[in-house]
Structure 1
Amino acid sequence: MSDGLKNPFWRIVVNLLLIVWAIMVLYPLVWTVLGSLKDNQQFFQGNPWDLPQFPLLFSNFSYVWDKYQFGGYFMNSIIVTVVSVLAGLVLSSMTAYILARFAFKGSGVLYYVYIASMMIPMFLGMIPLFFLMSDMGLTNSLLGLIIVYTVSTIPFSVFVLVGFFKTLPSEIEEAAMMDGASYYGIFFRIMMPLAKPGLISVSIINVLNTWNEYILGVVLNSEPSKYTLPVGIAVMQGEMQYRTEWGPLFAALLISMVPVMIFYLIFQRQIASGITAGAVK
């Protein structure tokens, strides 16, 4: 502990700042939960910040799920996110391992190509990407979204994992080779388990980005049955036209937030250890 935090006054100040920060983070979430249990009358006739009145309108969730086809949007988001993140993780981890552990002609250039691709705004490539996907017959399909999302996760993942693989001791690989292990065996059975904290840290970022992505979902998909949750929420608000149903809209937002929160709660220890390991190394 630093000398400054040993002072009781500064410890109180830091704790108060952390409490204020926690309230600022949690309050929008709590307000979303409370808003999802109200009807429009409670929003407009009273204070919109008040607690919901009884009986609580849990029917908002079923209303959104059935009337606005949120069940289909939800499954589309699950499929697209899980497949694209897993595929991107396998491809990026293999690429990062090769770039980190094997020196070959052009490896440095290839690494910087991945880094440079992170600096190109997505909007610059939107039109050529649309025509490319259209010519390949991959618009208005989940497969097209999966391919684009998979590719979009690779540059950042490679950037993070190259540094992580470089910190792993090479003696482990040498020992495995002496025992007769192949390159594939070394990578999948030894290096990937050792890189688990880094892989999970990259995965949570890619899950958040893919789950919340909206622009590509709109540009590459105009088929309602293939909408993901962010697109579905925007379409739902548009269909409400002049009378926004705030309770169902908050319910829809909460439905879209729950899987990410569950994912974080399940892997929070691994995420924390991955961040710590990366910082120490």
Structure 2
Amino acid sequence: MTQRISRLLMKTVIRIPLIVWSLVVLYPIVWMFLGAFKSNGEIFASPWALPETFNFGNFVTAWTDYNIGSSFMNSLFVTVLGTALCLVFAIPTSYAIERIKFRSSKILFNTYLSAMMIPMVLGWIPLFFLLLKFNMLDNLWALSLVYAVTQIPFSIFILTSFMSSIPKELEEAAAIDGMSQYGILLKVVTPLLTTGIITVSIMNAVTFWNEYFMALIFLQTDGNYTLGLAMDLMNREAQYTNAWGALFAGLSIAIIPVMIIYAIFQRWIVKGMMEGALKG
């Protein structure tokens, strides 16, 4: 009985700070969602109360009048393309480092690990002039490529840890059957990396979706703005037009995809990070 009480007390002591922290984090998000359904009068008169009626007009205003719809599609484009390009680069590189032993393979892997320690801000100015030289500024394709390259070291670090746990006997059997090295990579190794690939893809996609500074530097026209830039522009305009309801609606539109992704793939993300840590 005493042990049960002590365990219950320990669980309570641990859970109370977590519950308080969860409320602190969730309350502003809930307040933002409620504000998206309010008129400006309701926001100023009763900012903490529930909306009198759930009006979707703010979402329509944000989507059309403030070009959130166009920015949403731009963010979706660079996120999907950047994530795909990163996998195209990272999976073969991870396979070469982990399975094809060659001179300086360890040096190459350590170089990628070292690149994770370098702040990305140091590369923004050289990247700007590089894109300017090749006439690739204000280009969503170029921004997607930059996003993919910046996340390659992290992706290789995660994927190599998963790849090291794949039995080499499977690859040897495929080679005996006459399968080429590329066939082994695509048909044997890659399907066994599903958990690692999903983990890397989700982490990279969230990073690309929320990225702001590189988009600010490399994009110049409103038509190419991603959600981060559009929300910043909308925030500045809301100060003079009092379009706070539309601003909250735009923020809700920006955050909903991330919440959906985490809700769907939460188990995969936790499983992937745990397995990657243990295997690494």
What TM-score does the superposition give when structure 2 sets the normalisation length? 0.92
Alpha carbons 2:162, 2:276 under 8 Å: kept:
yes
Counterpart in the other structure of 1:214: 212
* Deviation per residue, 1:107-157 (Å, 9 max, x gap): 112112212222222222222211110111111111111111111111111
| Aligned residue number for residue 269 of structure 2 | 271
Q: CA deviation at 1:194?
A: 1.1
1:231 corresponds to which residue? 229
Shift of 1:239: 2.6
Aligned 1:36-185 pairs, distance under 5 A: 36-46=36-46, 48-52=47-51, 54-185=52-183
> CA–CA distance in 2 between the matches of 1:102 and 1:4?
54
User: Is 2:37 the partner of 1:22?
Assistant: no
CA-to-aligned-CA distance 1:14-33 (integer Å, 9 cap, x gap) = 34344334323332321221
Matched, 1:188 2:174: no
Q: Which moved more, 1:93-102 or 1:177-186?
A: 177-186
C-alpha distance in 1 between matches for 2:144 and 2:5: 48
Cα distance between partner residues in 1 of 2:90 and 2:188: 17
Aligned mates of 1:155, 1:105 — CA distance in 2? 19
**8 A contact 2:38–2:53 mirrored in 1:** no
Equivalent position SS for 2:135: coil
Secondary structure at the aligned position of 1:160 is classed as helix
Contact 2:238 2:244 (8 Å CA) reproduced: no
Kept after mapping to 2: 8 A contact 1:161/1:198: yes
Question: Which structure 1 residue ranges, 4+ long, deviate > 4 Å from structure 2?
Answer: 3-6
Shift in alpha-carbon separation, 1:5–1:187, aligned structure 2, 3 A:
farther
Within 2, Cα distance between the matches of 1:179 and 1:205?
36
Identity of aligned residues (%): 43
Aligned length: 277
Instruction: Give, in whole Å, the separation in 2 of the partners of 1:6 and 1:94.
Output: 52
2: CA distance, partners of 1:124 / 1:15 = 41
Gaps of at least 5 residues in structure 2 are none
1:241 deviates by 4.3
* Displacement of 1:254: 0.7
Question: What is the TM-score with the length of structure 1 in the denominator?
Answer: 0.92
**Aligned 8 A contact 2:58 2:249 in 1:** yes
Q: Which runs of 5+ in 1 are unaligned?
A: none
Distance in 1 between residues matched to 2:5 and 2:214, nearest whole Å: 46
- Find the aligned partners of 1:185 and 1:75 in 2 and give their Cα distance: 35
